[in-house]
Structure 1
Amino acid sequence: MSRDKNFTALLLTLALHAGVWLLASGYPFQHVSPPQVPKTAEKNVFLELIPPPRQPQPEPTSAPPTTPITASPPDTGLAAPIPSPSPSPDHPRASMAAPPPPSAEEWAFAAQYTNKNSKGYRYSWGQQVRSMMGTAVEGPDQGVVRFRIEIAPDGRLTQLQTLWTTSAKAEQLARQAIQNMPPLPPIPTGKPLIFDKTISFSPFANDGPPIYRDDCLPEPPVFRNPFAWDGTSPQVVAAPTPTTPMDPQALADCLRQLPKDSIEAESARDQRLMDQWGASKTEKSTP
């Protein structure tokens, strides 16, 4: 215990001697601030924007024509018709001349071809009508008309019905051509010929010759929904109708009538397939 007191007294003695020595040596205890950097004088710069000299403007020679203000038509709730663009010298209207009428050889073939509901006769009849309608010009008169036709066994027209049309002018020209058709050969089957025919009066479409090589193949079965139900009768899943093979004698007669397909028929078939799948609408790049 006495040893701890002696050690504390020794520390106090040393601290007092150190303080006396610092006071005697003149050690500064006050706070000394760092020297300040002299400030530079600020200069104010004023900028004046001078506009460029005004250029003399030429005097107008004449006053521009004014468009008279007309009252807008009353709103009837119907969309206004879009006017067709007028042809310009740089873009003249497209046109397609009428195809030639069927030749005597084509009518002779049509008068003896009985396959597919007298397929050759129906094509020659449509070609005869289109050849008498004249040149098709791009514009509001172009269009398509579809008829239902009935021709007597001796070749006389007995019924003509318009199913639909996209151009009144095309229907008018087609009906006028049908009324002025020359006498036609008899129907090859000896029975009335009833069929639907589309006549295209357009500079961008042409009814090419048909393909005959597949006319002797059996008709594909007509699809009917096997799950169709009227809601009251018992539900019965209808079985698909099997394809009936053609009689050997009928098949031989059919094959005997088949002509050799022409290059024009092949080209027309390829064009129809391209139009069906949209390949002909692809724009070709020009160099």
Structure 2
Amino acid sequence: MFALASNSQDWFSRKSEVPKVEKLAVVLDAAPPGHEEIRDKPKRRALAPELTPKAVIAAEARPKETVTTPVTKHPLATQPAPPAPTAEEWAFAGNYPLKNSKGYRYTWGKQVRSMMGTAVEGPDSGQVRFRIEIAPDGTLAKLETLWTTSSVAEQLARQAIGRIPPLPPTPTGKPLTFERTISFTPFATDWPPIYDDDCLPDPPVFTNPFAWDGKSPQVVHVEPEPIKKLDPQALEECRKQLPQNSIEAEIAREQRLQNQWGSSKLGK
């Protein structure tokens, strides 16, 4: 026991020698039957060649391809000529003297437009404004073009005026002078007039007090005369001869008011 005790320190410090085992890894490369010769080889990715400054400048200067969307042509708008005034309409126009023969002036314009044909959207459509003078017997005494937006429209209107059938005498038995715009477009319609206020006097015409042509002597501007009130009995007699407005005229008036003033309900 003393011998064991004396050698215990060496015994505990002694380590058993363990044989070292080297690690061995085995890799198997199994190929499908019949394809033993195929082996996966690493694929090399082709690298883009570096651009030289000249190549970069040429690439930037190359025009870029633009994709254009084909434009689809819409059908042109058209508006056929209105029917010519009837004999009843001319009979009314020849006997209505109020407002510088208002009925006669409208019927004359409708007669001209009915003889101009169909208006087609395009450069040939447009408007022309004339100053006309009708002799007391209904014949044309003077025709002057004030302005026009289409030479074709003016030519067609002048041809129609030259072929107008004989017209009735003017309502007042005097020469009738007025201005009239003929619209030869597919987007404009010459609506019938409203006769409700034809018995009321015309409002005063505004004149510029500073207007001067530079040639004629300057005169002091005269204030317009105040509007005279009609006698109630004369006003009642005048209203008896007013014709009834057509449905087309009422629709046109409501549309003009709507376009001018709008509606308070639409903004809410």
Partner of 2:189, secondary structure, is: coil
- Which residue of structure 2 aligns with residue 255 of structure 1? 239
What is aligned with 1:23?
A: none
Structure 2 counterpart of 1:201, from 172, 181, 184: 184
Root-mean-square deviation (CA, aligned residues, Å) is 3.1
Q: After superposition, where does 1:218-257 map in structure 2 within 5 Å? A: 218-224=201-207, 241-247=225-231, 250-257=234-241
Q: 1:50 to 1:220 in 2, by over 3 A?
A: same
| CA distance, structure 2, for counterparts of residue 193 and residue 229 of structure 1 | 28
CA distance in 1, matches of 2:108, 2:156: 15
The aligned residue for residue 84 of structure 1 is: none
CA distance 1:176–1:274, change in 2 (3 Å) = farther
Cα distance in 2 between the residues matched to 1:183 and 1:237 = 43
The alignment partner of 1:122 has SS state of helix
2:165 maps to which residue?
Answer: 182
- Cα deviation for residue 267 of structure 1 reads 1.4
Q: CA deviation at 1:241?
A: 3.4
Q: 1:12-31 maps to which residues of 2 (within 5 A)? A: none
Q: Partner residue of 2:45?
A: 50
1:115 touches 1:254 (CA, 8 Å); kept in 2? no
Q: Distance in 1 between matches of 2:157 and 2:221?
A: 46
Q: Which runs of 5+ in 2 are unaligned?
A: 1-43, 49-70, 213-219, 263-268
Cα–Cα, structure 1 residues 237 and 165, in superposed 2: closer, same or farther, change >3 Å?
A: closer
**Secondary structure in 1 aligned to 2:167?**
coil
Residue 117 of structure 1, aligned match among 93, 97, 100: 100
Partner of 2:127: 144
What's the offset of the Cα at 1:216? Answer: 1.0
Matched, 1:216 2:199: yes
1: CA distance between counterparts of 2:145 and 2:224?
34
Q: Which amino acid aligns with 1:258?
A: L
SS in 1 for 2:174: coil
CA distance in 2, matches of 1:260, 1:229: 41
Measured in 2, the distance between the counterparts of 1:186 and 1:195 equals 15
Q: Alignment partner of 1:200: what SS?
A: strand
Match of 1:57 in 2: none
SS of residue paired to 1:254: helix
Alignment partners' CA distance in 2, 1:170 and 1:112: 30
Deviation string, structure 1 residues 66-114 (Cα, Å, up to 9, x no partner): xxxxxxxxxxxxxxxxxxxxxx875110000000011111111101101
1:98 lines up with 2:93 in the alignment: no
Q: Residues 229 and 101 (structure 1 numbering): CA distance in 2 closer, same or farther, change over 3 Å?
A: closer
Task: State the distance in 1 between where 2:163 and 2:221 align.
Answer: 52
- Whichever residue aligns with residue 45 of structure 2, its letter is I
Number of aligned residue pairs: give it: 193
> Please, which runs of 5 or more residues in structure 1 have no aligned partner?
1-48, 54-87, 231-235, 280-287
Q: Matched residues in 1 for 2:104 and 2:135: separation?
A: 13
One-letter amino acid of the structure 1 residue matched with residue 178 of structure 2 = F
What does 1:57-96 correspond to in 2, within 5 Å?
A: 90-96=73-79
Match of 2:90 among 107, 115, 119: 107
Match of 1:168 among 125, 142, 151: 151
Q: Letter of the aligned partner of 1:222 in structure 2?
A: V
Deviation at 1:223, TM superposition (A): 3.3
Q: Distance in 1 between matches of 2:223 and 2:72?
A: 63
**What displacement does 1:269 show?**
2.1
1:253–1:183: structure 2 CA closer, same or farther, 3 Å change rule? farther
- The answer to whether residue 239 in structure 2 is matched with residue 269 in structure 1 is no
3-state DSSP of counterpart to 1:217:
coil
Q: Aligned partners of 2:211 and 2:125: how far apart in 1?
A: 44
